[in-house]
Each structure stands twice: as C-alpha cells, then as structure tokens.
Structure 1
Amino acid sequence: MTAEQCPEDLIQVKPFLKWAGGKRWLLPELQKYLPDELGCYFEPFLGGGAVFFGVKPQQAVLSDLNPELIQLYRVVRDEPDELERLLYLHQQHHCKEYYYETRAAKPTSRIEQAAWMLYLNRTCFNGLYRVNRRGEFNVPIGTKTKVVFEDESFRALSCALANADLNSQDFEATIQQANNGDFIYVDPPYTVAHNFNGFLKYNDNIFSWDDQVRLRETLDDAAVRGARIIVSNANHDSIRELYRGFGEVKELPRYSAIAGPAGRRVPTSELLICMGG
C-alpha cells in the first residue's frame, strides 16, 4: 500500500517480530529524548523494529545486514494481504511434525520465504532467531500456536512502512545518508572490548570491537553534518570510554529478556547516549 492509501487509524501498529535485543521496553524512556522535529529517521540495526514502529516517522531509511529480515519487511510493506493468507495456511497446519518439516524445507519465492520466516519466529522456542554455520535456522519448536493474531493488521503494518527505504547493508552505508535535521537511532550488537574473543556472534555475522569503533567514528561524522543521534549500548566501561565526549550518557535499568524462563532473568542495565536535540 502507498502512504496515500493509508487511513490515519491504520498507522497505529506494534512490531510483528520477536527479536533478540528488542527495544519495546525502552520506548517510554527513549521518547523523552527525541527531537521535536525528526527529519528523516535512520535505523541501521533494524531487528524487530520496535523503536521505528513506536516513533512512527513520516520518512525512514531502515537497514540490517540480515537479507532475509529485510526481505520480510519488504513483503510486509508491499504484499501484506498475500503474506497474511500464507500465514493463515501455516496456522491451519501447525503441529510438531509440520513445524520441523517446514523448518527443514526453506521455500524459494520471496513471499513464501517471508511467510516461512515469520511462521518460525512466532512458533519457535522463545521467538529466537538463530542460524547454524551453514546459515540454516535451527531453533526447536516452542509452545505458541498462534501465527496470526486477532489484534494485528498487516495492512496497517504496510502503511507504517509505506515511506520506508529498506536495505540490507552495512551500518556505515546507512548512516552516511543522514544529514542536517535527520535523526539516527542506533542499537548495535552489544560487543565490548576484551570480551574473550573480542567479538560477538550476531546471527550469522560477526560484529567486532573494531566495528564498535567504526560505528562511533561514523556517528561522529553524522553529528558534524547536523544529524541528531541516540545510541543504545552495553553498560560497560569500554563503551563509556568509547563514547566519552560524544553526548549525554544515561544508565537505564532493565531485566534481561534472553535468559529463558522469567524466573531466571536478572536485573541489568544499558546505556542511552544522546547527541543533539
């Protein structure tokens, strides 16, 4: 759907993916520090898109290194009705045997791949996206059986994404497009210096400490061009040192959401680094 075809009441949407490191919990705090005028919204580590859907920008450039993730977003934007139809078919057949047969048989068409990815995301254990060294999705079945929810509208999601440019590319290529008056939200993998091997396995990509340094340098350049920036990152001395002098640093408490059962989740904290306003 195009933006002109979207009624105003269809723009109110929630993220459709569960994603490791998702930022739904952050929105109430982050919105306190958003600039009054966003310009174009840039998000180079899109993931589940919680901040994008919460902010609801009029114009956006969204990217992620995961090409299947970006393809899913494009299908949601461009072919919401057909995607929903395929998801209902998955829901009708869902059971343990069907899940594992589907997981092992990745389709070839873009829209079937998108439905395959979202079906697995909604029915796998803990909504975790994980692939093995061959790039194969390998998460076991979970307890959820719903694939399409009563309160969601794929047409509304399509409308929210109507003016979004979606790319599978390195963060630097995305941030370099931001100029004076634009807003950048950055939520990179939480690599810190000297963390054992010095890198973090991020799906099937490696995000190293050198990438963290390159990100800071790329954001410095964007700030010089007049972009406003908010960064989420690990509350760690190496991150604090890396962003020293960059902007206002805030420590935000939260509970870890990746530790499995709720009883095993422990209090932790993250940093929010704000530049410009």
Structure 2
Amino acid sequence: MTETATKSRQRPFLKWAGGKYSLLDELDKHLPSGGRLIEPFVGGGSVFLNSSKHAEFLLGDANADLINLYQMLAVVPGKVARHARFMFEHMGDAESFAAIRTQFNNQQMDGPERAAAFLYLNRHCFNGLCRYSLSNKFNVPYGKYRAPYYPEQEIKEFTAMAHNCVFMNAGFRRTLALAGSGDVVYCDPPYEPLPGTSGFTSYSAGGFAWEEQVALAEHCFAAHERGARIVISNSGAPKIVDLYHQHGFVIHEVHGRRSISSKGSTRTAAKDVVATL
C-alpha cells in the first residue's frame, strides 16, 4: 500500500489501548470480503471504520459505556457534541475531571451527557486508558494534558457510517451467536500475556481470563461451522498458537507495534498472530 493510501485511513475518535490502526495494512491482507462484518470486541473501531469490503456491520462490546457512546452518536450526535464541547472548553483541569468522573460513576447523567462524559474522560485521562474497578467504577486518573484534542472531524466520519451499523452491548458469546453464512467475523480480544509479562485484562469489570480465550476459540469455530469466516488477532503466546491450531486455524505472524519490556534499552517489538478460519 502506498504512503498516500495509508494516510487516507480514517482514525478512530477515541484513544484505545490495543487499537489496530497501525496494523490495518496487515489485517487487510487476511480479512475477507462479505456482506456483513461482525466485531465482538469493537473497541475504538479502527477496523470497521476503514472497511471497504463490507456493507453492514454488527459491532459488539462488553463495555456498556463505549456502546452507549456509539449509540448516542448514531441517533443524537448534536446533543452529544454540545455536551462534549462544553466539557472540553470549560472543564480542562483536575478538579473538573474529578467532578465529571464522580457524576459518571454515580450514574447522574442521561444517555447523551454520559456519552459525552465518556469521550471527555477518554481524552483527558492518563494515556487514554479505559479501566474499571471491581465495582465497575471508571478509575483512570487525570492525564494532565495541556489541550486535549477534540476529534470533531473523526466523529463526523463515524456518524456518517453509523446508519450501516448495529451496536450491541454484549459479551462475545451473544455476538458470535448471530454469525452465520456470508458473515465475516473479526475478533480482537484482550491479548493473552506473553510468558514473563502481565496483560491488560480490565477492559470490563470481569476481566478476560484464559478460560475466555478458550471459549472464544470454541465459539468462533462454531460460527465457522455455520458458514462465517473468522479472523482473530492475539499475541504470539505459545498457548494461544496451540489453542488456535487445535481448532483448525491458519496462523499468520505479524509484527505488533507494542513493546514487551518496560525498559527502553531492552524494548523490542512483540510478535503477534492473526489466525484465520
């Protein structure tokens, strides 16, 4: 793909740990065409936002706040934007951040305002992380950014696609149960930690244990038997490679743009996999 084509990619409007924007060229090689693209872990949405191979989208995620934001932007984008602009323009300090986070966690907002608050928290919190406590409270601290970017154009591009999308607040089991003949499924679960490292599993209050990785592979195999084509991204952890081989997946190695060491002197690019069925 040329540099010009790469630059034309649509960026997601959220910061999202593990987002696939930098791997879109690699993923595109393995993602087949189909009538509908199903994503059980839609996250920041880089993949569906840049799909030219699918006409419709079923987009699920276990994160209720993420799906609320997407749904509100699909039906009342103007209301979300008004709330969000006010927050970005007038509530950029640590005290305001704490106040919005408290209101957000105490369920003191209606749908559009809560959607705007989630966008605000995402852009103002530390590293754009999305993390919850065991009691399902958003608990990422203030990021101390001078002027967080308000993604106006990216939101407009998202809303222009939303009429082709169905958004589901659901775990992967419910979403995959809807996959069948003619569908393409792309799964981007929380990555299994590589040996000797710790993983990020708090994308929702319940986390994502090894048992979930096994269940995902099983449900993907079942969807394939119903006629769907499957693509999964994950780390190159040996147990993940073995799991996917056991279920008949073809394994493709890709070089992920993430480090596997906290020390700059020993930081190397991780080897990830894309598994297809």
Same fold flag (TM > 0.5): yes
Number of residues of Structure 1 aligned to a counterpart in Structure 2: 263
Corresponding position of 2:221: 220
Equivalent runs, 1:162-241 vs 2, <5 Å: 162-191=163-192, 200-241=201-242
Q: Is residue 199–residue 209 contact of structure 1 (8 Å, CA) maintained in 2? A: no
Q: Is residue 39–residue 58 contact of structure 2 (8 Å, CA) maintained in 1? A: yes
Amino acid at match of 1:99: F
Q: Is residue 192–residue 209 contact of structure 1 (8 Å, CA) maintained in 2? A: no
Q: Aligned in 2, Cα 1:89/1:169: closer, same or farther, shift over 3 Å?
A: same
Corresponding position of 1:60: 57
Amino acid at match of 1:148: Y
Q: Aligned in 2, Cα 1:34/1:198: closer, same or farther, shift over 3 Å?
A: closer
- Partner deviation per Cα, 1:173-204 (whole Å, 9 max, x = no partner): 11121111210000111236998999944431
Give the whole-Å Cα distance in 2 for the aligned partners of 1:117 and 1:258.
29
Q: Is residue 81–residue 154 contact of structure 1 (8 Å, CA) maintained in 2? A: no
TM-score where L is the length of structure 1: 0.85
Shift in Å at residue 259 of structure 1? 7.8
Amino acid at match of 1:113: R
Amino acid at match of 1:220: F
Shift in Å at residue 104 of structure 1? 1.9
Structure 1 unmatched runs, 5+: 1-11
Give the whole-Å Cα distance in 2 for the aligned partners of 1:137 and 1:218.
29
Corresponding position of 1:271: 273
Query: Identity of paired residues, percent?
Result: 35
Corresponding position of 1:140: 141
Shift in Å at residue 211 of structure 1? 1.5
Corresponding position of 2:100: 102
Shift in Å at residue 167 of structure 1? 0.9
Instruction: Answer yes or no: is 1:43 the counterpart of 2:39.
Output: yes
Secondary structure of the structure 2 residue equivalent to 1:52: helix
Amino acid at match of 1:149: P
Deviates more, 1:246-255 or 1:68-77: 246-255
Match of 2:29 among 25, 29, 32: 32
Match of 2:256 among 241, 244, 254: 254
Shift in Å at residue 14 of structure 1? 2.5
Give the whole-Å Cα distance in 2 for the aligned partners of 1:231 and 1:103.
33
Corresponding position of 1:9: none
Q: Aligned in 2, Cα 1:173/1:99: closer, same or farther, shift over 3 Å?
A: same
Deviates more, 1:113-122 or 1:263-272: 263-272
- Partner deviation per Cα, 1:98-128 (whole Å, 9 max, x = no partner): 2222222223201110000100101111111
Amino acid at match of 2:48: F
Shift in Å at residue 235 of structure 1? 0.5
Q: Is residue 88–residue 147 contact of structure 1 (8 Å, CA) maintained in 2? A: no
Give the whole-Å Cα distance in 2 for the aligned partners of 1:128 and 1:232.
20
Q: Aligned in 2, Cα 1:33/1:223: closer, same or farther, shift over 3 Å?
A: same
Amino acid at match of 1:105: Q
Shift in Å at residue 67 of structure 1? 1.1
Instruction: Answer yes or no: is 1:124 the counterpart of 2:125.
Output: yes
Secondary structure of the structure 1 residue equivalent to 2:18: coil
- Partner deviation per Cα, 1:147-166 (whole Å, 9 max, x = no partner): 5236x153431121212111
Q: Aligned in 2, Cα 1:120/1:196: closer, same or farther, shift over 3 Å?
A: closer
Give the whole-Å Cα distance in 2 for the aligned partners of 1:158 and 1:174.
22
Q: Is residue 13–residue 154 contact of structure 2 (8 Å, CA) maintained in 1? A: no
Give the whole-Å Cα distance in 1 for the aligned partners of 2:14 and 2:200.
25
Instruction: Answer yes or no: is 1:156 the counterpart of 2:152.
Output: no
Give the aligned CA root-mean-square deviation in angstroms: 2.9
Amino acid at match of 2:249: G
Shift in Å at residue 97 of structure 1? 2.2
- Partner deviation per Cα, 1:205-233 (whole Å, 9 max, x = no partner): 22221211111111111111221111001
TM-score where L is the length of structure 2: 0.85
Secondary structure of the structure 2 residue equivalent to 1:161: helix
